[in-house]
Structure 1
Amino acid sequence: MKTSSVELNPFSLMMEPEVVLQTMERSQQLRGLRRHKLRPLDKPLIPLTKEALASRAAFDAAIDAEELEAMEDGDLLN
C-alpha cells in the first residue's frame, strides 16, 4: 500500500474525512479487533442497602424542608 505525505498529514485528513473512512474500512487491523459493548451505567456499582436508601430519603426530605421554609420566609432570590 502506498501512502503519500499528504495522507499522513492530520490537517489534510480533517479536510477529507471520506478518505479516513475509506482507509478505516480497508484496515485489516481494525477489522481484527474484538468488539464488545461496555455499559457500566446499567447496574449500580455499589448496591444500596435499606439503611442507605433511608438515609438518602431523610437527607432529601431535610433539604426539601429547608427550601420550603426559605420560600415561606421569602429568602429565595429566584
Structure 2
Amino acid sequence: MKDTAVALNPFSLMMEPELVLQTMERSQQLRGLRRHKLRPLDKPLIPYTKEAVAARAAFDAAIDAEDFEDQADSYMLN
C-alpha cells in the first residue's frame, strides 16, 4: 500500500529519482510507445539566401543608427 501511495505522489517521486527510473523501466505503457527521433530545429524551415542575410543586416544597422533617446525625450516634453 505504501509503495503505491509513493508511486502516485509526484512530490515524493521527485525526492526519489531511483524509484522513478525503476517505475519507468517496469512500465508496459512506456515500452509500448513508438519511438521516433524528431529534430525539427536542426535545419531552418526557410533557407537563408545571401539577399535575405544582407537585408537583415541592413535592417539591423538602420535600427542601430536611430537615436531613440532623442525621440523619447521629445515625446516626453510634448
Distance 1:8 1:20 in 2: 11
The 5 A counterparts of 1:42-53 are 42-53=42-53
| 1:14-48 deviations in Å (ceiling 9; x for gaps) | 22111111010011111111112221221111123
Aligned equivalent of 1:8 = 8
Aligned equivalent of 1:38 = 38
Q: Which has the higher contact order (CA 8 A, sep 6+)?
A: 2
Aligned equivalent of 1:70 = none
Q: Identity over the aligned pairs, expressed in percent? A: 86
| 24-33 vs 36-45, which moves further | 36-45
Aligned-pair CA distance for 1:63: 6.0
Which SS does the other structure have where 1:58 is aligned?
helix
Aligned length: 64
Runs of 4+ in 1 over 4 A off after TM superposition: 60-64
Aligned equivalent of 2:23 = 23
Letter in 1 for 2:19: V
Letter in 1 for 2:20: V
TM-score (norm 2): 0.59
| 22-31 vs 5-14, which moves further | 5-14
Mark the CA change 1:7 to 1:58 in structure 2 (over 3 Å): closer, same or farther: closer
Aligned-pair CA distance for 1:62: 4.7
